[in-house]
Structures are given as structure tokens and as C-alpha cells.
Amino acid sequence: MTEEDVINFNNAYLQIMSQQTFETEKIDYSVIDRHAPVLHSIARISNAVVSVFDFSKKQHVFNSSNLGEILGYTPEQVRASGNQFIDSKIHPEDFGMLAQIGLSTFKLFFSFSEDEKLNHKLVSEFRILNAAGKYIRVIEQQHVLELDHLGNLWLALSILDISPNQQNLNEGLKSELINFRTGKIILINRMPDELAVQLTRREKEILNLVKSGLLSKEISDKLAISLHTVNTYRQKVIGKLGVNNSMEAVMLATRLGLI
């Protein structure tokens, strides 16, 4: 992973993050200090790398002291790489996919209610270069730690650990978005986006009618097609977008600019 790739990735994130407007004078930063003892304990007990990203300041505001240690790097090597230490060690193929999935997931979170934002976590398994010059598989769990008073994504928690799956190092990124309240899982080895998903003219037409509040029977009458045909199109769209129902399809398609 080149330094240019990392910079481009970070710039894309910054562009999306700028869509959120914070009232910084109303943010209680003492919350971070209150979380810190628990975060240090997680890192110490599990030997995982724990970090917290602040979307208002657009920087990490907490990093466990074992950053790099689980991969065999010295503190000096970590400091030499600056803020891009972890990113610069990710397998190039996995990095590109992580960037795409991360950006698409971020867009999806903008369509979530506050409750949904707090109840979902992104779990990714990917390859990263250790100090011995070999790629190993790691697991990263990311979820919202705190929202601000406006409902913005404010603090995001990341826990990075060695994966027990070290058998197939040729296997690339695996990701899933999990609602840990309901148990629902969305497999997102490739999050749908404008390039990955192509909706037909009729699929877009029906999805827009669903968005406007019409029921399947009303859509059937309006377009002079059978109820069965309407429901078939709705199921095709749900399958293409990898969601659970038509309303989720409407939200995701809208966020991705497909309708």
C-alpha cells in the first residue's frame, strides 16, 4: 500500500465526514476520559489494539499503548509511520476493498435512526503485514461509541485482534455488518454502490413508487402490470442491494444515488 493510496483514502473519508455539522461548544469531551480506563482494560486483557476516532476533530483521540505490538513492531517503528501505521501495513488488495466498504457503510449509517447507528457494528477480516514481513489475518470490529446531541456519528470504537483463521492467507477481505440487537447480518464483501449495482429502468420506477408510499397493489394498478410482477421486481431489488426489505432498499438506493 503506497503512501498516495493511503492519502487518497483518507481524503475520501474526510470529504464524506464533512457532511456532518458539529456544534463543538456543546460536545462533552470528558466522556473520552471516562471511557479510557475501560478501553485500556480491553487492550490489556485481550491483547487487542483499541482506538477511538473523533469525527468532529477528524482524528484519533485514543490509541492503546500496544499499537503495533501484536504485529511485532517496535514503538519506534510505529512512531516513524505516524497516523498511517496500520493503514500502511494492510494488504493492497484488501485495502482497496476496505476503503470501498468503509465509505459505503458510512453513507448507509447516514440513513439510520440514532438507535440503528448504535446497534450496528462492522466486522472485517483482512490481511496485514507483520514485522517478520509475512501477511497474517486480523479481525477488526468497529461500532459507534458515542453520538453527539444532534445524532451525528461522533466517537467510533475500533478493536483489532489476530484472527484464529490463519489457514488460507490467499483469501482476501471478508466483511459483515451486524445488528447486535437483532442478530441480523448483512454480508458486504462488496458493498453495493453505483458501479457494483445496476438497477433496470423498471426496477428504479417501482422502487421510486415504493419510496412515495404506494403499496404493491397500487403500483400494479398504476403501471398496468400484475401484482406478481411487482413483487418479483421488489424481490430482485432487495437481492441486488443485499438488504432485508423494500424500505431498506429505498434507503440504501437513495443514499447510493441509484434512485
Domain 3-187 matches domain 201-255 at the CATH topology level: no
Q: What is the pLDDT of residue 68?
A: 87
Q: What is the pLDDT of residue 187?
A: 67
Cβ-Cβ contacts under 8 Å for 78 (sequence gap 6 or more): 67, 68, 85
pLDDT in tens, 116-164: 999 999 999 999 999 999 999 999 999 999 999 999 999 999 999 999 9
Give the domain 201-255 fold.
Arc Repressor Mutant, subunit A (1.10.10)
Residue 19 burial by Cβ neighbours in a 10 Å radius (0-12, 13-18, 19+): exposed
Cβ-Cβ contacts under 8 Å for 252 (sequence gap 6 or more): 108, 111, 192, 241, 243
Residue 5 has pLDDT above 60, yes or no: no
Q: What is the pTM of this model?
A: 0.70
Give the domain 3-187 fold.
Beta-Lactamase (3.30.450)
pLDDT in tens, 226-240: 999 999 999 998 887
Q: What confidence tier does 252 reach under pLDDT thresholds 50, 70, 90?
A: confident
d(CA 158, CA 180): 16
- Average pLDDT, stretch 94-115? 81
Q: Is 62 helix (H, G, I), strand (E, B) or coil?
A: strand
pLDDT in tens, 51-87: 999 999 988 899 998 888 999 999 888 888 776 788 8
Q: What confidence tier does 197 reach under pLDDT thresholds 50, 70, 90?
A: low
Spell out the domain ranges in the chain.
Answer: 3-187, 201-255
